[in-house]
Amino acid sequence: MLLRCGPHTLDLSIPRVMGILNVTPDSFSDGGRLFDVSRVDVARAVEHGLAMVAAGADLIDVGGESTRPGARDVGEAEEIERVVPVVAALAAVVNVPISVDTSKAGVIAAALNAGASMVNDVRALREPGALEAAASSTVAICLMHMQGAPRTMQHDPHYTDVVAEVRDFLAMRVAACERAGVARDRIVIDPGIGFGKRLEHNLALLADLPALRQLGLPVLIGASRKSMLGRLLGRGVEQRLAGSLALATAAALGGASILRVHDVGETVDAVRAAAALGTAGFHI
Protein backbone atom coordinates (compact mmCIF):
# COMPACT_ATOMS: atom_id res chain seq x y z
CA MET A 1 0.00 0.00 0.00
CA LEU A 2 1.32 3.44 -0.98
CA LEU A 3 0.38 6.76 0.62
CA ARG A 4 0.63 9.83 -1.59
CA CYS A 5 1.88 12.86 0.37
CA GLY A 6 2.29 15.66 -2.13
CA PRO A 7 5.83 15.27 -3.54
CA HIS A 8 6.46 12.23 -1.32
CA THR A 9 5.23 8.66 -1.64
CA LEU A 10 5.30 6.56 1.51
CA ASP A 11 5.53 2.78 1.20
CA LEU A 12 3.28 1.30 3.91
CA SER A 13 4.15 -2.33 3.26
CA ILE A 14 5.88 -2.11 6.65
CA PRO A 15 4.73 0.02 9.62
CA ARG A 16 6.08 3.57 9.64
CA VAL A 17 6.94 5.82 12.60
CA MET A 18 5.71 9.42 12.87
CA GLY A 19 7.67 11.60 15.27
CA ILE A 20 5.74 14.12 17.38
CA LEU A 21 7.01 17.70 17.29
CA ASN A 22 4.82 19.83 19.57
CA VAL A 23 5.46 23.57 19.40
CA THR A 24 3.04 24.29 22.23
CA PRO A 25 3.46 25.50 25.81
CA ASP A 26 0.86 23.10 27.23
CA SER A 27 0.93 19.67 25.54
CA PHE A 28 0.53 16.87 28.09
CA SER A 29 3.98 15.31 27.61
CA ASP A 30 6.39 17.84 26.14
CA GLY A 31 4.64 21.21 26.32
CA GLY A 32 6.97 24.20 26.52
CA ARG A 33 10.17 22.37 25.71
CA LEU A 34 10.59 24.12 22.37
CA PHE A 35 9.57 27.57 23.63
CA ASP A 36 11.89 30.49 24.35
CA VAL A 37 9.96 32.60 26.88
CA SER A 38 6.67 33.01 24.95
CA ARG A 39 7.75 32.17 21.39
CA VAL A 40 8.64 28.97 19.57
CA ASP A 41 12.39 28.42 19.37
CA VAL A 42 12.52 27.46 15.68
CA ALA A 43 16.16 26.41 15.76
CA ARG A 44 15.57 24.02 18.66
CA ALA A 45 12.43 22.67 17.00
CA VAL A 46 14.34 21.94 13.78
CA GLU A 47 17.16 20.34 15.78
CA HIS A 48 14.62 18.05 17.46
CA GLY A 49 13.04 17.21 14.10
CA LEU A 50 16.42 16.36 12.59
CA ALA A 51 17.22 14.15 15.59
CA MET A 52 13.97 12.23 15.08
CA VAL A 53 14.72 11.73 11.38
CA ALA A 54 18.21 10.51 12.28
CA ALA A 55 16.58 8.08 14.74
CA GLY A 56 14.45 6.64 11.94
CA ALA A 57 11.27 8.75 11.80
CA ASP A 58 9.44 8.35 8.49
CA LEU A 59 7.28 11.44 9.05
CA ILE A 60 7.35 14.45 11.40
CA ASP A 61 4.05 15.77 12.83
CA VAL A 62 4.16 19.45 13.82
CA GLY A 63 1.43 20.69 16.16
CA GLY A 64 0.78 24.20 17.46
CA GLU A 65 -2.32 23.64 19.62
CA SER A 66 -2.57 21.16 22.47
CA THR A 67 -5.50 18.73 22.26
CA ARG A 68 -5.10 17.28 25.76
CA PRO A 69 -8.27 17.26 27.90
CA GLY A 70 -8.97 20.75 29.20
CA ALA A 71 -6.51 22.48 26.87
CA ARG A 72 -7.23 26.10 25.99
CA ASP A 73 -8.24 27.08 22.48
CA VAL A 74 -5.61 28.78 20.33
CA GLY A 75 -6.52 31.40 17.74
CA GLU A 76 -5.73 30.82 14.09
CA ALA A 77 -3.15 33.61 13.86
CA GLU A 78 -1.30 32.39 16.95
CA GLU A 79 -1.27 28.80 15.69
CA ILE A 80 0.10 29.92 12.31
CA GLU A 81 2.81 31.91 14.09
CA ARG A 82 3.85 28.80 16.00
CA VAL A 83 3.64 26.23 13.22
CA VAL A 84 4.55 27.79 9.88
CA PRO A 85 8.16 28.87 10.62
CA VAL A 86 8.94 25.37 11.92
CA VAL A 87 7.33 23.64 8.92
CA ALA A 88 9.18 25.91 6.48
CA ALA A 89 12.53 25.43 8.22
CA LEU A 90 12.11 21.65 8.44
CA ALA A 91 10.97 21.34 4.82
CA ALA A 92 14.25 22.92 3.76
CA VAL A 93 16.43 20.34 5.53
CA VAL A 94 14.60 16.97 5.71
CA ASN A 95 13.45 14.58 3.00
CA VAL A 96 10.55 12.98 4.88
CA PRO A 97 6.92 14.14 4.79
CA ILE A 98 6.06 16.89 7.27
CA SER A 99 2.57 16.66 8.73
CA VAL A 100 0.67 19.54 10.30
CA ASP A 101 -1.53 18.65 13.27
CA THR A 102 -4.39 21.15 13.00
CA SER A 103 -8.12 21.57 12.41
CA LYS A 104 -8.17 25.15 11.09
CA ALA A 105 -8.49 25.95 7.40
CA GLY A 106 -6.15 28.94 7.61
CA VAL A 107 -3.44 26.92 9.35
CA ILE A 108 -3.82 24.10 6.82
CA ALA A 109 -3.40 26.50 3.90
CA ALA A 110 -0.43 28.32 5.46
CA ALA A 111 1.35 25.09 6.47
CA LEU A 112 0.86 23.50 3.04
CA ASN A 113 2.25 26.65 1.42
CA ALA A 114 5.26 26.37 3.76
CA GLY A 115 6.00 22.80 2.68
CA ALA A 116 3.80 20.44 4.74
CA SER A 117 2.73 17.34 2.84
CA MET A 118 0.17 15.87 5.23
CA VAL A 119 -2.76 17.19 7.29
CA ASN A 120 -3.43 15.36 10.56
CA ASP A 121 -6.79 16.52 11.94
CA VAL A 122 -8.30 15.37 15.23
CA ARG A 123 -11.64 16.77 14.04
CA ALA A 124 -11.54 14.90 10.71
CA LEU A 125 -11.81 18.07 8.59
CA ARG A 126 -15.18 19.12 10.03
CA GLU A 127 -14.23 22.71 10.85
CA PRO A 128 -15.34 25.41 8.37
CA GLY A 129 -13.21 25.38 5.23
CA ALA A 130 -10.85 22.63 6.45
CA LEU A 131 -11.97 19.96 4.00
CA GLU A 132 -11.77 22.37 1.07
CA ALA A 133 -8.29 23.57 2.10
CA ALA A 134 -6.93 20.02 2.30
CA ALA A 135 -8.79 18.66 -0.73
CA SER A 136 -7.52 21.40 -3.02
CA SER A 137 -3.95 20.10 -2.56
CA THR A 138 -2.24 16.79 -3.29
CA VAL A 139 -1.17 16.09 0.31
CA ALA A 140 -2.10 13.15 2.52
CA ILE A 141 -4.95 13.49 5.02
CA CYS A 142 -5.36 11.74 8.36
CA LEU A 143 -8.94 11.64 9.64
CA MET A 144 -9.31 11.01 13.38
CA HIS A 145 -12.33 10.07 15.47
CA MET A 146 -13.05 12.14 18.57
CA GLN A 147 -16.20 12.13 20.68
CA GLY A 148 -16.81 15.69 21.87
CA ALA A 149 -14.16 18.43 21.95
CA PRO A 150 -10.72 18.41 23.62
CA ARG A 151 -11.77 20.61 26.50
CA THR A 152 -14.62 18.29 27.59
CA MET A 153 -14.08 15.01 25.71
CA GLN A 154 -13.17 12.97 28.80
CA HIS A 155 -16.08 14.12 30.98
CA ASP A 156 -18.39 11.21 30.20
CA PRO A 157 -17.59 9.33 26.97
CA HIS A 158 -20.18 6.68 26.12
CA TYR A 159 -20.55 4.09 23.34
CA THR A 160 -22.84 1.15 22.67
CA ASP A 161 -20.27 -0.49 20.37
CA VAL A 162 -17.11 1.61 20.24
CA VAL A 163 -15.43 -0.26 17.37
CA ALA A 164 -18.50 -0.13 15.11
CA GLU A 165 -19.27 3.49 15.96
CA VAL A 166 -15.71 4.67 15.34
CA ARG A 167 -15.51 2.69 12.09
CA ASP A 168 -18.83 4.11 10.86
CA PHE A 169 -17.78 7.69 11.67
CA LEU A 170 -14.49 7.27 9.84
CA ALA A 171 -16.27 5.72 6.85
CA MET A 172 -18.55 8.78 6.74
CA ARG A 173 -15.61 11.18 6.79
CA VAL A 174 -13.75 9.19 4.13
CA ALA A 175 -16.85 9.43 1.92
CA ALA A 176 -16.94 13.21 2.47
CA CYS A 177 -13.31 13.47 1.39
CA GLU A 178 -13.94 11.38 -1.71
CA ARG A 179 -16.90 13.58 -2.65
CA ALA A 180 -14.54 16.56 -2.34
CA GLY A 181 -12.16 14.92 -4.83
CA VAL A 182 -9.62 13.34 -2.47
CA ALA A 183 -8.24 10.06 -3.84
CA ARG A 184 -8.16 7.10 -1.46
CA ASP A 185 -4.36 6.83 -1.77
CA ARG A 186 -4.15 10.13 0.12
CA ILE A 187 -6.27 9.07 3.12
CA VAL A 188 -5.29 7.63 6.51
CA ILE A 189 -7.71 6.86 9.37
CA ASP A 190 -7.10 7.14 13.12
CA PRO A 191 -9.48 5.76 15.80
CA GLY A 192 -8.39 8.50 18.20
CA ILE A 193 -6.97 6.64 21.19
CA GLY A 194 -7.68 8.74 24.29
CA PHE A 195 -9.94 11.23 22.51
CA GLY A 196 -13.35 10.94 24.16
CA LYS A 197 -12.75 7.37 25.24
CA ARG A 198 -12.39 5.46 28.49
CA LEU A 199 -9.67 2.87 29.08
CA GLU A 200 -11.96 0.02 28.02
CA HIS A 201 -12.82 1.84 24.76
CA ASN A 202 -9.14 2.36 23.94
CA LEU A 203 -8.32 -1.29 24.62
CA ALA A 204 -11.24 -2.49 22.51
CA LEU A 205 -10.10 -0.39 19.55
CA LEU A 206 -6.50 -1.54 19.81
CA ALA A 207 -7.61 -5.16 20.09
CA ASP A 208 -9.78 -4.97 16.97
CA LEU A 209 -7.73 -3.02 14.45
CA PRO A 210 -8.72 -5.52 11.71
CA ALA A 211 -12.28 -4.16 11.97
CA LEU A 212 -11.00 -0.68 11.13
CA ARG A 213 -8.81 -2.04 8.36
CA GLN A 214 -11.98 -3.33 6.68
CA LEU A 215 -12.30 0.21 5.32
CA GLY A 216 -9.29 -0.61 3.11
CA LEU A 217 -7.20 2.34 4.29
CA PRO A 218 -4.00 2.66 6.34
CA VAL A 219 -4.57 3.05 10.08
CA LEU A 220 -2.58 5.46 12.27
CA ILE A 221 -2.32 4.80 16.00
CA GLY A 222 -1.23 7.42 18.53
CA ALA A 223 -1.01 5.93 22.01
CA SER A 224 2.43 7.20 23.02
CA ARG A 225 2.66 8.15 26.74
CA LYS A 226 -1.12 8.60 26.99
CA SER A 227 -3.15 8.55 30.19
CA MET A 228 -4.42 5.03 29.51
CA LEU A 229 -0.88 3.89 30.35
CA GLY A 230 -1.02 5.83 33.57
CA ARG A 231 -4.19 3.97 34.51
CA LEU A 232 -2.84 0.59 33.42
CA LEU A 233 0.64 0.91 34.90
CA GLY A 234 0.46 3.60 37.56
CA ARG A 235 3.27 5.48 35.80
CA GLY A 236 3.79 9.20 35.25
CA VAL A 237 4.14 10.63 31.75
CA GLU A 238 7.95 10.36 31.68
CA GLN A 239 7.82 6.72 32.86
CA ARG A 240 5.61 5.32 30.11
CA LEU A 241 8.20 4.29 27.52
CA ALA A 242 7.86 0.54 28.11
CA GLY A 243 4.08 0.71 27.97
CA SER A 244 4.18 2.88 24.85
CA LEU A 245 6.46 0.37 23.12
CA ALA A 246 4.16 -2.50 24.07
CA LEU A 247 1.16 -0.72 22.55
CA ALA A 248 3.12 0.24 19.41
CA THR A 249 4.23 -3.36 18.95
CA ALA A 250 0.70 -4.69 19.43
CA ALA A 251 -0.67 -2.08 17.01
CA ALA A 252 1.92 -2.97 14.38
CA LEU A 253 1.09 -6.66 14.70
CA GLY A 254 -2.61 -5.77 14.50
CA GLY A 255 -2.09 -4.04 11.17
CA ALA A 256 -1.44 -0.38 11.98
CA SER A 257 0.49 1.35 9.18
CA ILE A 258 1.71 4.43 11.08
CA LEU A 259 2.65 4.82 14.76
CA ARG A 260 2.64 8.40 16.08
CA VAL A 261 5.15 8.58 18.94
CA HIS A 262 7.39 10.69 21.15
CA ASP A 263 10.21 8.12 21.49
CA VAL A 264 11.23 7.56 17.89
CA GLY A 265 14.39 5.46 18.06
CA GLU A 266 13.01 2.97 20.54
CA THR A 267 9.75 2.64 18.60
CA VAL A 268 11.56 2.13 15.30
CA ASP A 269 13.35 -0.86 16.83
CA ALA A 270 10.13 -2.25 18.32
CA VAL A 271 8.21 -1.85 15.06
CA ARG A 272 10.97 -3.48 13.02
CA ALA A 273 10.90 -6.47 15.35
CA ALA A 274 7.09 -6.60 15.14
CA ALA A 275 7.21 -6.40 11.34
CA ALA A 276 9.65 -9.32 11.24
CA LEU A 277 7.32 -11.35 13.46
CA GLY A 278 4.38 -10.48 11.21
CA THR A 279 6.33 -11.59 8.13
CA ALA A 280 7.08 -14.86 9.90
CA GLY A 281 3.37 -15.43 10.43
CA PHE A 282 3.01 -14.39 14.09
CA HIS A 283 -0.34 -12.85 15.06
CA ILE A 284 -1.79 -11.71 18.36
Q: Is 260 a catalytic residue?
A: yes
For the cut 90, the answer to whether the pLDDT of residue 74 exceeds it is no
- The predicted pLDDT at position 169 comes to 97
For the cut 50, the answer to whether the pLDDT of residue 31 exceeds it is no
Q: Which residues contact 144 (CB under 8 A, 6 or more apart)?
A: 120, 121, 122, 123, 124, 189, 190, 191, 192, 195, 220
Pick from 218, 228, 213: which is nearest to 257 by CA? 218
pLDDT digits (tens, 9 = 90+) for 149-182: 766 667 678 899 999 999 999 999 999 999 999 9
147 C-beta neighbours (distance < 10 Å), count:
20
- The predicted pLDDT at position 221 comes to 98
Task: Check 4, 82, 197, 260 and give the catalytic one.
Answer: 260
Specify which residues 5 forms β-bridges with: 8
The predicted model scores a pTM of 0.92
Kindly give the interhelix angle for 105-114 and 76-91, rounded to the nearest 10 degrees. 20
Q: Is 179 a catalytic residue?
A: no
Per the prediction, the chain carries an average pLDDT of 91
Name the least confident of 22-31, 134-143, 240-249.
Answer: 22-31
At 10, is the secondary structure helix, strand, or coil? Answer: strand
Task: Check 4, 225, 226, 240 and give the catalytic one.
Answer: 226
Mean pLDDT of 185-191: 98
Question: Which one is the CATH code of 15-275: 3.20.20.20, 3.30.1330.10, 3.30.2020.30, 3.30.390.30?
Answer: 3.20.20.20
